[in-house]
Amino acid sequence: MTQDYKHKLLNFLKEKHSKIDAVVMPDFFYDRLISIDYDPEQFSSVITDITLRKGGSIDGVAQMDIRGGNAVNTTSALAALGVNVTPIVCTSKLGLHQIKFYLGKYRTDLSHVKIVKKASLTTALELKKEDGKANIMLRDVGSLANFGPSDLTERDYELIENADYVCLFNWAGTKKFGTALAENVFHRVKTEGKGKTYYDTADPTPNKDKIPELMRDVLKTSRIDVLSLNENEAICYAGILSGEILGNQKNKRFDELAIEAARVLAKNLPARIDLHTTVFSATFTKKTEVVVPTFKIKALRATGAGDAWNAGNILGDGNGVSDECRLTLANAVSAYYLSNLDGVHPTRRKLAKFVENSAFNTHSVGSFWAKSF
């Protein structure tokens, strides 16, 4: 069955696609990625030893500066796939120059970028683990913390109203006004616009005290068409709606718990629930479930996978492909990015070549593999 998904995806990638106009908000980060060749226990031991010596260096640590922020990363991935995408993000003057450097080849409209006093910065530590890599992000969100509805102009809203997709990311980063921003923007789309609303809050726990407010004022409303999450986010939100989720954390495998959490969300929230994990992705509504395996790759990085996945998901959704094809597409975009030596996003042509030469993960999740209900 999975080979059929590959065949349909390859046919789709070779077809002429519908024109899609997308708006993405609100973050751009300067990211420094530090690849640490230790597992957490080993790294902790090394740090402790250096601290006891009153300081010192660790040489041979691979580092690189990369494009960061959910919105700008998704912009890059969408643009590479041929989607017309406009970012409404905030950054410093230097940050704008960096965005131009990263997105210049796509001729992206950057006239909606907001210049603020303090840029957003992340130092991402990638540590080894048995099943791949784990990333720990040390963030200074800067002026993003204060970004809210008052930063948007009528020109921004005109763009939002005419977009086919309006995508919001990084709720916790917009620490003070994130819920209000989502309420305002998605309300405008639903009352004055024509497009779909797409929400990926990213990790909400840095702003955990406000999660109940987000749930009440945004997630439980009909303003969201698609809610995109990873395992941790799904379990976090479902735990608010069902005590069984938290109670089963020790009794179930993590991937099985994530599926159970996504079902709880689909049952209780109006939005379609799209779940992406390292071994499968899935889509849930009140009536349907579809689960598709990811591609088998050697992951060269642990950050940015969700942003690439969202871009493929949006492209597939915007062209009305089947759930199976859409999820396979999203998985392919993410896998290409994670396994690419330079960490670049694929064009449709390069993605087709990747899919032709790639195999699916054989890991299964109970009886759900590639299954529709």
369 pLDDT above the threshold of 70: no
User: CATH for 2-30+70-120+143-356?
Assistant: 3.40.1190.20
Which pLDDT tens digit goes with each residue over 11-57?
A: 999 999 999 999 999 999 999 989 898 988 999 999 999 999 999 99
Which pLDDT tens digit goes with each residue over 161-216?
A: 999 999 999 999 999 999 999 999 999 999 999 999 999 999 999 999 999 999 99
DSSP 250-307: TTS-HHHHHHHHHHHHHHH-SSEEEEE-SSEEEEE-SS-EEEEE-B----S-SSSHHH
Domain parsing of the chain, residue ranges = 2-30+70-120+143-356
Average pLDDT over residues 313-326: 98
Q: With contact defined as beta carbons under 8 Å apart, do 128 and 295 qualify?
A: no
373 pLDDT above the threshold of 70: no
Q: With contact defined as beta carbons under 8 Å apart, do 166 and 74 qualify?
A: no
Which pLDDT tens digit goes with each residue over 133-149?
A: 788 889 999 999 999 99
- pTM of this prediction? 0.91
Tell me whether residue 13 is exposed, middle or buried, using C-beta atoms within 10 angstroms of its C-beta: 0 to 12, 13 to 18, 19 or more: buried
Average pLDDT over residues 310-314: 99
Average pLDDT over residues 1-5: 81
* pLDDT band at residue 303 under the 50/70/90 scheme: confident
Given its phi and psi angles, is residue 281 left (phi above 0), alpha (psi -120 to 50 degrees) or beta? beta
Closest CA to 136 of 148, 128, 145: 128
Distance between start and end Cα atoms, the chain: 15
Structure tokens at 244: 């069984």
372 pLDDT above the threshold of 80: no
